[in-house]
Amino acid sequence: MEKSKSAPEGGARSQSRKRNRVFAMQEQLLRIFSEIKKMLKEYEPPFSSRIDLDSRYELWSNKEVTIAGRKRKSVHFATIIVQSNYVGFYFMPVYSDSSLKKVFGRDLLSTLKGKSCFHIKKNDPVLLKQTKEAIEKGFKLYKKRKWV
């Protein structure tokens, strides 16, 4: 009996499908990144970007402030980074007021990993709307505290 010469399971066809899935995921993550970056750019000025790349963006207030008795030349507001399987949304207003979490939408809150890092994996209109609302509330908090 002669053995088949077809590709073994997990061969070239399987690798091709895996590459296609990875490519599709990266495209989705870049779309999510782009949407959140547009939201954050609306606050430039008064904030300014320190890093503005295709896969990383940081927004800071360059106002000199005193926080908890320590003088600071700037205050970090938010960073977004495309990671391997999610977009990391690092949202610093939560550090200054943890009660801010209470006003986050349920979908956004479900992506919170740690104190201020959200792992966003889906390009979902509801989730993006809640992200935009969180950014607005964070900006109002910074403005109220005269950090911007």
Question: Is residue 17 scored above 70 in pLDDT?
Answer: no
Number of H helices, E strands in the chain: 4, 8
Res. 13 pLDDT band, cuts 50 70 90: low
Question: Is residue 134 scored above 70 in pLDDT?
Answer: yes
Q: Where are the beta strands (DSSP E) in the chain?
A: 48-52, 56-61, 65-67, 70-72, 75-82, 87-91, 112-113, 117-120
**Could you report the per-residue pLDDT of 103-123, keeping only the tens digit for each?**
788 899 899 998 889 999 989
Question: Is residue 38 scored above 90 in pLDDT?
Answer: yes
Amino acid at 143: K
Res. 69 pLDDT band, cuts 50 70 90: confident
Residue 7: the pLDDT is 47
For 55, which DSSP code? S
Q: Which domains does the chain have, with CATH numbers?
A: 12-144 (3.90.1150)
